[in-house]
């Protein structure tokens, strides 16, 4: 279970660890309860990520640095919350004090701190022999953090919102971290239904027969090499009152990607249980929407399968017919994500939403271009691109706008089908985005986020923990909270 976070007026007696977030200026002026000479001797200057701990009655007290006050943002506070959680990991209950000399509003600081504490304290322990009976990590004792300063309704609401968003990220991380051998498509669908029930979302799971009846040729083609049947899951969030708009969230749900007959290398397969992080992020985000009261209606479209090498696996050169009637010549079976997304995007367009966003661990080329921590952002509508980018900025998730050059379309022209499923040797992230664009109606604003890099981390860093990161959850929640329809004319 995630750490719980509460807003309180003063440090509770039950807290055996009490830490304050401080700026470098606060340290230079002196911090009550801490000897300036001692801080100087240990080199604590209040720099970002610095921690100083000292014994106190029944436990310890300490400081977490934020850096210069003028540079403190919500992201700084979120990161400090993660540092605090790790520093207090051996204590069941800790207290956290917020800085007073920064320009970040108190509500935003409390929300960011709650997010950071929960995300920094996250651990995936389902397969650890040291886990407790409830699946919890017996080596982690921190269960509760109290944010000190106010117990007002506003303070409690801010902390609760941060905790809700972080819990959604944890949902996505749990799904991403589960091995592909146990998280098959049917199991993935069952877990998604369970999340939906708990959150109060509508859900619908399509079986193989339903998928065949719906003519989802891309999903069926990718699934041909698998011993596990595919699934297609729809989730729907309905706000209270009249929705201000309808958004479609489309996520790639490849539960394990061996590459099909175009098999990956052993090294290339090691992290391929996480090829479903796009779908996982959407499930996590959808679970948050009722708690934060998003004013828009959101429907999720989640195709699920693995990509294996069975006796009847799709062969290079085969042609698949997608839901919207377009045909794709499959020349590389390891370019499978675009095939299942093609079906899902076609279905989303049929429901005529105000806008569509898809998330996918789609291309290694995007990681070559942007590295491991930044998602590629592409789209067919600049105002919607701007809204998604603004939502990501508010959420503290990094994205970079990439082009969709019209002249690159000729790279995936096919002599036997409407298009090929791969482009040329260069610009793979862009041609993949352009292939997806073939399955989106021109009059529907659409954005594609290639999250191949930031969906997974090699080590802990701030609120990011090793393994699945849950990247995209916070952006999708912010988008649902702040989306506005374009003004006519």
CA dihedral 84, 172, 362, 227 (to 10 degrees): 140
Residue 264 is among the residues annotated as catalytic for this protein: yes
Same domain, 224 and 159: no
* pLDDT at residue 370 in the model: 98
- Answer yes or no: do 473 and 328 share one domain: yes
Q: State whether 201 and 145 are in the same domain.
A: no
What confidence tier does 226 reach under pLDDT thresholds 50, 70, 90? very high
Cβ within 8 Å of residue 129, ≥6 positions away: none
- Signed CA dihedral, 332, 334, 335, 338: sign only: positive
Asked if the structure places residue 321 within a domain, the reply is yes
Task: Tell me the average pLDDT across 263-272.
Answer: 97
Give the percent of the chain with pLDDT over 90. 96
State the CATH number of the domain containing residue 113.
Answer: 3.40.220.10
Q: Is residue 173 part of a domain?
A: no
Is 77 inside any structural domain?
yes
Catalytic site residue from 47, 128, 156, 264: 264
- What is the average pLDDT score of the chain? 96
Residue 245 lies in a domain: yes
Domain end (from 134, 166, 198): 166
Note whether residue 366 is domain-resident: yes
pLDDT interval class at 443 (50, 70, 90): very high
- 141 compared with 427, residue with greater pLDDT: 427
pLDDT of residue 487: 72
User: How many structural domains comprise the chain?
Assistant: 2
The predicted pLDDT at position 367 comes to: 98
Q: Judge whether 172 lies within some domain.
A: no
Query: What mean pLDDT do residues 268-289 have?
Result: 98
Q: Of 49, 42, 41, 44, which Cα lies nearest the Cα of 27?
A: 44
Last residue of a domain, one of 166, 194, 216: 166
Which residues constitute the domain of residue 383?
183-482
208 and 150 in a common domain:
no
Q: Does a structural domain hold residue 178?
A: no
In the predicted structure, residue 135 carries a pLDDT above the cut 60: no
Q: pTM for this structure?
A: 0.97
**Would 175 be classed as within a structural domain?**
no
Are 154 and 188 found together in one domain? no
Rg of the chain (C-alpha set): 23
Domain check: are 280 and 327 in the same one? yes
- Which of 166, 191, 225 is the last residue in one of the domains? 166
* Section 154-176 average pLDDT: 98
Of 364, 173, 176, which Cα lies nearest the Cα of 255? Answer: 176
CATH of the domain at 236: 3.40.630.10
Residue 397 and residue 286 share a domain: yes
Asked if 203 and 134 sit in the same domain, the reply is no
Same domain, 221 and 157: no
Query: Does one domain contain both 280 and 401?
Result: yes
> Are residues 251 and 296 both part of a single domain?
yes
Q: Return the pLDDT at 232.
A: 99
Q: Are residues 189 and 90 in the same domain?
A: no
Q: How confident is the model at residue 139, as a pLDDT?
A: 55
pLDDT, tens only, 343-361: 999 999 999 999 999 999 9
Of these residues, 224, 338, 437, 474, which one is catalytic? Answer: 338
- 78 is annotated as an active-site residue: no
Indicate if the pLDDT at residue 252 is higher than 80: yes
- Indicate the angle between helix axes 473-482 and 277-292, nearest 10 degrees: 40
Asked if 58 and 48 count as a contact pair (C-beta separation under 8 A), the reply is: no
pLDDT at 140: 58
| pLDDT above 50 for 48 | yes
pLDDT reading at 136 higher than 60: no
């Amino acid at each position: 279970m995630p750490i719980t976070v509460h807003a309180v007026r003063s440090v509770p007696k039950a807290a055996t660890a009490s830490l304050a977030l401080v700026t470098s200026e606060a340290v230079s002026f002196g911090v009550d309860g801490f000897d300036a000479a001692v801080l100087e001797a240990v080199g604590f200057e209040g720099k970002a990520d610095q921690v100083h701990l000292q014994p106190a009655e029944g436990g310890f007290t300490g400081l977490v640095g934020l850096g210069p006050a003028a540079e403190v943002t919500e992201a700084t506070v979120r990161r400090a919350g993660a540092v605090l959680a790790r520093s207090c990991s051996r204590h069941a209950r800790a207290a956290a004090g917020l800085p007073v000399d920064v320009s970040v509003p108190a509500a935003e600081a409390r929300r960011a701190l709650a997010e950071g504490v929960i995300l920094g304290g996250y651990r995936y322990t389902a397969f650890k022999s040291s886990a407790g009976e409830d699946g919890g990590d017996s080596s982690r004792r921190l269960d509760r953090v109290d944010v000190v300063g106010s117990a007002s309704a506003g303070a409690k609401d801010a902390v609760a919102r941060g905790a809700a968003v972080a819990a959604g990220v944890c949902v996505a991380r749990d799904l991403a971290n589960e091995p592909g051998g146990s998280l098959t498509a049917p199991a993935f669908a069952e877990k998604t239904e369970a999340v939906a029930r708990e959150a109060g979302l509508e859900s619908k799971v399509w079986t193989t027969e339903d998928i065949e009846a719906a003519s989802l040729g891309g999903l069926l083609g990718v699934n041909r090499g698998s011993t596990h049947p595919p699934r297609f899951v729809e989730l729907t969030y309905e706000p209270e009152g009249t929705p201000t708009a309808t958004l479609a969230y489309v996520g790639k749900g490849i539960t394990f990607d061996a590459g099909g007959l175009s098999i990956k290398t052993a090294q290339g397969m090691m992290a391929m249980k996480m090829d479903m992080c796009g779908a996982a992020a959407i499930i996590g985000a959808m679970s948050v929407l009722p708690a934060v009261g998003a004013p828009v209606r959101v429907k999720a479209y989640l195709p699920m399968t693995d990509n294996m090498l069975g006796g009847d696996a799709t062969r290079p050169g085969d042609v698949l017919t997608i839901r919207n009637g377009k045909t794709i010549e499959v020349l590389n079976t390891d370019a499978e994500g675009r095939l299942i997304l093609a079906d899902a995007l076609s279905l989303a367009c049929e429901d005529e939403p105000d806008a569509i966003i898809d998330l996918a661990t789609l291309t290694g080329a995007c990681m070559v271009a942007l590295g491991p921590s930044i998602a590629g952002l592409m789209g067919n509508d600049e105002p919607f691109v701007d809204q998604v980018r603004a939502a990501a900025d508010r959420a503290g998730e990094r994205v970079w706008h990439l082009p969709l050059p019209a002249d690159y379309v000729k790279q995936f022209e096919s002599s036997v089908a409407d298009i090929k499923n791969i482009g040329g040797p260069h610009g793979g992230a862009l041609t993949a985005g352009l292939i997806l664009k073939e399955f989106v109606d021109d009059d529907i604003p659409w954005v594609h986020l290639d999250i191949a890099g930031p969906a997974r981390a090699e080590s802990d860093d701030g609120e990011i923990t090793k393994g699945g990161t849950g990247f995209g959850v916070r952006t999708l929640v912010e988008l649902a909270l702040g989306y506005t329809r374009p003004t006519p004319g």
